[in-house]
Structure 1
Amino acid sequence: MSYTMLNYITPLKENWKIKVRIVRVWYVPDYNKPEKIGSIEFVLVDEKGSKMQASIKQTLIQRFEKLVNEGSTCIISNFGVGKNYGKYRATYVIGTITGIGKMIDESKGSTPNFKLPLEIEDQQKNKLKTTLWGKYAEQVSNFVKDDIQGHVVIIIQFAMIKIFRDEVTLQNSLFATKIFLNEDMSEVRDFRGSVSIIGGDDSRSQNITQLPSQMSHSLSDEFLIMYERKQLDEICETNKKCYFVTFATIVGIESDTAWYYNSCKQCNKKVDYEGGGRYWCQKCDAHVQSALPRYKVTLTVEDDSGTTTFVMFDREIFQILQISAMDLKDKLSKEGR
């Protein structure tokens, strides 16, 4: 019986048959009902070492849950394939902890959530900035509080990679990441041996420096790790106000509606033109003499689960175009458009 290797799998058909080992399984809770499982996520590896992330959606969990066991080998056939739009990858990073920052409390309400910046170094003295959140931050912080002799070797599996201005950084995922600290395993022993050869005696206490407080990630990075990722079809099923991260491609811009609206300079809300150069702001309950154009663009976006409509407002469109709605309107008017 023949099987397809994972690196040959494409979205062009669904009648694939693969033989793989399940190396990691984690459960993602349903956003509206956290006590229920929203999906089962897992990572597959074939005999060539190629990896692929897989997912079982909520409607199929009861049928397949008992068949998905970490460490088991299985044959899978007739499944859908889509592009991974997210930043999660089946990563494996090993290094020594050379720097650690102050634990920052980012808790909201009764749910604890801590952030911990780290600096990790490999055998060639390459450094990697890393941010850990939640239980992973507490795990590392509690470990390094003890008087550890020698290098603190850390292994981070199943994390998220960020590349910005040619700099690679690392963050844990919400549910998938595994962290090992000074574990008694061959990878750690081999790494210690290479560090001892390159850097000298490993028996002395490793000097972990205190990272400056300004070493942090952008607000956008924090948003990506603090809020749950959902596909477009899952967002459309949500029935309450909430925040999500989604990764989709803009495939169209609606041209039948205006790309801007006239806004009140005080509250930024839409105003109605009354004539005679006067506008009415319902939010301020007052007449205004002039209005400021602000972007409001309707987009069609797509991911592997389907398409939907998003609306982007002034701040986001300005970040992309680097020109205000007023200046763009004036420019188009001068060009006769």
Structure 2
Amino acid sequence: MTTRNGIIQINSIDKKTWNKRVVVRILRLWVQKDLTGREGLEMILIDEWGNQIQASVSFGNKRKFMPLLREGDINMIQNFQVMDNKPNFQMAKVDHLYMLGFGLATQIEQPDEASKFWKMDLILFPLQIFLHTIPLSFWMFLGRL
């Protein structure tokens, strides 16, 4: 679903998505080494509707993006690549068919008007992080009570 100014929701991202923008908060960000020891970046992004997607920065682009990315920041991202998600290689539970790749053409901005795009109350953000870290087995246990 496209929202205002060509900004889309994460749940509408698919292989046909191109030249679109998303406004997201970086929920988690970590350095990931490949089998040869090269370091890239992995992250979990969440939009204002609570939709999540994994994103990846290859080792070749890490230097470009590392100064622009911090956990908790709200960013407008455009010109990203859409790739098939790799469920066997996920570091976090994200139920999205695709993941984002940041390449040379990817642009990241911290919009001045971020509060206009972000409806989620900032008080709820720590709760979202907390809920994201609780294993699914715990929630299943609570459901049985």
Instruction: Classify the TM-score, shorter chain.
Output: 0.5 to 0.7
Structure 1 portions without partners, runs of 5+? 96-118, 126-197, 199-337
1:29 aligns with 2:30: no
Q: Secondary structure at 1:21's aligned position in 2?
A: strand
Instruction: Using the aligned pairs only, state the percent identity.
Output: 27
Paired letter, 2:142: Q
1:75 aligns with 2:94: no
Show CA shifts across 1:99-152 (max 9, x none). Answer: xxxxxxxxxxxxxxxxxxxx7562233xxxxxxxxxxxxxxxxxxxxxxxxxxx
Q: Kindly name which structure, 1 or 2, has the bigger radius of gyration based on alpha carbons.
A: 1
Residue of structure 2 equivalent to 1:46: 47
Asked whether the 8 Å contact 1:94–1:122 carries over to 2, the reply is: no
Cα RMSD of the aligned pairs, angstroms, is: 2.3
Asked whether the 8 Å contact 1:40–1:56 carries over to 2, the reply is: yes
Paired letter, 1:53: Q
Q: Secondary structure at 1:122's aligned position in 2?
A: helix
CA distance in 2 between partners of 1:79 and 1:57 (Å): 13
Show CA shifts across 1:224-271 (max 9, x none). Answer: xxxxxxxxxxxxxxxxxxxxxxxxxxxxxxxxxxxxxxxxxxxxxxxx
CA distance in 1 between partners of 2:56 and 2:65 (Å): 11
CA distance in 2 between partners of 1:54 and 1:29 (Å): 15
Residue of structure 2 equivalent to 1:17: 21
Q: Secondary structure at 1:81's aligned position in 2?
A: strand
The structure where helix makes up a greater share of residues is: 2
Paired letter, 2:80: F
CA distance in 2 between partners of 1:94 and 1:63 (Å): 32
Q: TM-score when scaled to structure 2?
A: 0.60
CA distance in 1 between partners of 2:82 and 2:30 (Å): 19
CA distance in 2 between partners of 1:55 and 1:93 (Å): 20
Distance 1:93 1:21, change over 3 A: closer
With a CA cutoff of 8 Å and minimum separation of 6, indicate the structure with the bigger relative contact order.
2
Q: Secondary structure at 1:54's aligned position in 2?
A: strand
Distance 1:50 1:30, change over 3 A: same
Asked whether the 8 Å contact 2:21–2:78 carries over to 1, the reply is: yes
Displacement of 1:14: 2.5
Q: Secondary structure at 2:11's aligned position in 1?
A: helix
Show CA shifts across 1:22-72 (max 9, x none). Answer: 00001112422x3x41x1000110011100000001111111111111111
Paired letter, 1:46: D
The structure where strand makes up a greater share of residues is: 1
Show CA shifts across 1:138-193 (max 9, x none). Answer: xxxxxxxxxxxxxxxxxxxxxxxxxxxxxxxxxxxxxxxxxxxxxxxxxxxxxxxx
Paired letter, 2:22: I
